[in-house]
A and B are shown apart, each in its own frame.
Chain A
Amino acid sequence: MFKKVTRRQFLKTTTAAGLGVLAAPAILRAAGEPLKVGTYGGYFQESFDKHIYPAFTEATGIEVESISEPTGSAWLVQLQAAARAGQAPADVSMMTQTAASKGAKDKLWMPLDSSKLENTSKLPEHFVRKYDDGSVYAIGALSWYITLVTNTETYPDAPTSWKDMWDPKYKDTLGLLAKVDNSFLLEVTATTWFGGTDIMDTDEGILKVMAKLAELKDNVRLWYRDEGQFQQALETGEIPMGQYYHDVTGLAAADGQPVRSTFPKEGGILDSGSWCLIKTSKRQEEAQTFINYMSQTDIQAKLARKVGTAPTVPRELTDLTDEEFAAVSSDIKPIIPRYDLYNSKGDWLNQKWAELIAS
């Protein structure tokens, strides 16, 4: 889905952004041009193009131009570079929590007018992110789970615990995300083996978690940056197990692929995307209308049904049935990523992580 950005799409986006930088005068937009909304390319963007944007345009009269984003942090770098040049490759972008906070540190996001965002009052507090001065810069867009996925032909019985990833019988079978701040494997390891992520409060604790994680390296066949690469390998059984997105796996299974997503008993990883408005945008009004529209409970329910993501509003406010809710979420307490660490000591974590997997 969003993570399913193929290299080609990524290059396309990069090139487009690069050309955008060159075409500076063209960026002086005339009013009446569409609002540019960025979501992760691939299936995810297709679902938005099909189910969300046309209905939004019908309801508000605002045209949307759909922009394909590469994975969170890569898009953040492009937005930062573009903002320095006074440009806006997309007005509103869906950003991961880590990327949203990093952008906020750089004051990349335009403060939003809370009075124009009445629908966001139903969102839990952590989905309404604020600058130190109290102004809002990010609104929760949707949530997704990263779970334990397996090929059903290779493994007729589903694994039940993240601990299985450490089992020697799975040697050379795992596909795991290659970056510390999108795999959240430290949180998984801490929750599975150390009773929770509190151990990550200290550097010594983090190193302990990393040492435990290093024990599963022999089981890893592929550390992937490109999600398309893993999804294909999972479907063919080449790499029959790993961590992946619950929603895309469900869709692949619905398409008849021999794959399944399992919520391990320690919980799935709950990550989410937030809407952020780049400070160089000239479409603040329309952007706020869009964000407000997307925060409605019935739109959140529609996202769950059509895109397969978990709603950001509390479940009881939506009209989702038990079955519909179970398809996108789980009653097991989720593993919540330690976003605070990626902001306060991101470089250190990245360095230690690189040393962990590359040695």
Chain B
Amino acid sequence: MSAVENHSSVPERIFSAKLLPPAYASLMLGVFFLIPLGIMLAVSFFHRVEGAFYEPAFEFANYARFLDAFFIKILAFSIGLSISAAVIAVMIAFPFTYSLTRASRSTQVFALVFLLAVLSLSEVIIGFSWSTLLSRTAGISNLFAALGLLERSAAYYPSLPALLLGLVYLSFPYTVLVLYPALSRLDPELSEAAQMMGASPVRTFFTVVVPVMKRTIISTIILAFVFTLGAYILPQTLGKPPHWTLSVHITDQAIFEANLPFAAAMAILLLLVSLLMVAITLLMGKDDAAGGKA
């Protein structure tokens, strides 16, 4: 870069060199994000031909169909479920990552590699593994029964707790990997000072570390929220039909009913609502973010 700056006598070159990165970014954003989103937006206004496919049109019928108690309830449930999963995941991941950053180098490397390995598992594998672990015939309840804790083995899925467990498991590695850089940069002197003044490690954690990391925590929750909102296999494998999220219903419309306009309209609405949630969260965090970044 300094070479370019020194040769300011060649303005064209600076011009192109400086513009190249943003141009590349815009191109990628356009090709992989804006154009597909635009197509989806267009399709969401198309006319569904029942029993066949769709034809180009401009109508609000697909959005109108969504404004029905049934789908609004599903939307509310999906958002509530994803928020719960995100908050639980971060509640577990934050202390875990904090202790990890204070562990030895080799432990850190091992844990991070392990988490990356977990990340490589697909939703399908996670869903099937948990359904086996929570099953009556082969699951952990057999262990409880053998230990005499239960009279006989029981099935723990499909159920809401099973689904939450699966979603937390799915988002946990992401939350740790997002929290890790921020927490490892956290100045150790902060907690040392607190402890010198007599605070216990636990108290230090809650009164010093957590407040300082507030923004990181909020952004990690948002990330996990958006991530779990897209899960559509876990609700089917670990949840009962009332727990099927909007993503499941979108998949149903798109893949099984051939109703792409309605699926697109639902996806656009889900996108808008989650953007709104993110905006509200960010606005709420703005006022008292003075403690700020790590």
| Interface residues as binary, A338-359 with B (CB distance below 8 Å gives 1, 0 otherwise) | 0000111011001100110111
Given A101-B51, A106-B49, decide whether A238 and B255 contact each other with a Cβ distance below 8 A.
Answer: no
**A72, closest chain B residue (CB):** B256
Given A7-B233, A74-B255, A101-B51, decide whether A354 and B70 contact each other with a Cβ distance below 8 A.
Answer: yes
* Bound CA span A342–B51, Å: 8
* Bound CA span A350–B237, Å: 21
Residues of B with C-beta under 8 A to A73: 255-258
Segment with Cβ contacts to A, from B1-9, B135-143, B186-194, B217-225: B135-143
B241 and A102 contacting across the interface, CB-CB below 8 Å: no
- Is A77 engaged at the interface, CB distance under 8 Å to the other chain? yes
- Is B124 engaged at the interface, CB distance under 8 Å to the other chain? yes
Q: How far is the CB of B140 from chain A (nearest CB, A)?
A: 14
Residues of A with C-beta under 8 A to B236: 225-226
Residues of B with C-beta under 8 A to A166: none
A223 and B241 contacting across the interface, CB-CB below 8 Å: yes
A237, A238, A344: most-surrounded residue (chain B CB, <10 A): A238
A179 and B155 contacting across the interface, CB-CB below 8 Å: no
- Is B242 engaged at the interface, CB distance under 8 Å to the other chain? yes
B50 and A346 contacting across the interface, CB-CB below 8 Å: yes
- Is A105 engaged at the interface, CB distance under 8 Å to the other chain? yes
B257 and A347 contacting across the interface, CB-CB below 8 Å: yes
* Bound CA span A52–B233, Å: 34
How many residue pairs at the A-B interface have CB separations less than 8 Å? 76
B135 and A229 contacting across the interface, CB-CB below 8 Å: no
| Interface residues as binary, B46-81 with A (CB distance below 8 Å gives 1, 0 otherwise) | 001111110000000000000000100010000000
- Is B259 engaged at the interface, CB distance under 8 Å to the other chain? yes
Given A8-B124, A221-B158, A357-B241, decide whether A102 and B52 contact each other with a Cβ distance below 8 A.
Answer: yes
Interface size classification for chain A: 35 or more
- Is B254 engaged at the interface, CB distance under 8 Å to the other chain? yes
- Is B98 engaged at the interface, CB distance under 8 Å to the other chain? no
Interface residues of A in 210-260 (CB under 8 A from B): 221-223, 225-226, 229, 233, 236-238
Residues of A with C-beta under 8 A to B214: none
- Is A272 engaged at the interface, CB distance under 8 Å to the other chain? no
Q: Give the contacting residue for A358; candidates B50, B53, B138, B242; CB below 8 A.
A: B242
A354 and B51 contacting across the interface, CB-CB below 8 Å: no
- Is A297 engaged at the interface, CB distance under 8 Å to the other chain? no
A77, A221, A355: most-surrounded residue (chain B CB, <10 A): A77
B244 and A238 contacting across the interface, CB-CB below 8 Å: no
**A355, closest chain B residue (CB):** B70
A236 and B138 contacting across the interface, CB-CB below 8 Å: yes
* Bound CA span A71–B244, Å: 20
Residues of A with C-beta under 8 A to B51: 101-102, 105, 342-344, 346
- Is A68 engaged at the interface, CB distance under 8 Å to the other chain? no
* Bound CA span A76–B51, Å: 11
Q: How far is the CB of B212 from chain A (nearest CB, A)?
A: 43
- Is A80 engaged at the interface, CB distance under 8 Å to the other chain? yes
**A357, closest chain B residue (CB):** B241
Residues of A with C-beta under 8 A to B233: 7
| Interface residues as binary, A315-345 with B (CB distance below 8 Å gives 1, 0 otherwise) | 0000000000000000000000000001110
* Bound CA span A102–B136, Å: 41
B258 and A102 contacting across the interface, CB-CB below 8 Å: yes
* Bound CA span A224–B48, Å: 27
Q: Give the contacting residue for A347; candidates B138, B237, B244, B259; CB below 8 A.
A: B259
B155 and A238 contacting across the interface, CB-CB below 8 Å: yes
Q: How far is the CB of A353 from chain B (nearest CB, A)?
A: 10
A221 and B155 contacting across the interface, CB-CB below 8 Å: yes
A106 and B52 contacting across the interface, CB-CB below 8 Å: yes
* Bound CA span A354–B233, Å: 17
Residues of B with C-beta under 8 A to A355: 70
A229 and B237 contacting across the interface, CB-CB below 8 Å: yes
* Bound CA span A263–B242, Å: 31
B259 and A238 contacting across the interface, CB-CB below 8 Å: no
**A76, closest chain B residue (CB):** B258
Q: How far is the CB of A11 from chain B (nearest CB, A)?
A: 8
Q: How far is the CB of B100 from chain A (nearest CB, A)?
A: 33
A354 and B242 contacting across the interface, CB-CB below 8 Å: no
B interface residues with partner A (beta carbon < 8 Å): 48-53, 70, 74, 124, 128, 135-138, 155, 158, 233, 236-237, 241-242, 244, 249, 252, 254-260
- Which 3 A-B pairs have CB atoms at the shortest separation, nearest pair first? A106-B52, A105-B52, A358-B241
11 additional A-B residue pairs with CB within 8 Å, beyond A77-B255, A354-B252: A7-B233, A73-B257, A178-B241, A225-B236, A236-B137, A238-B136, A238-B138, A347-B259, A354-B70, A358-B242, A359-B70
- A-B pairs with beta carbons under 8 Å apart, 5 shown: A11-B124, A77-B255, A225-B236, A354-B249, A355-B70
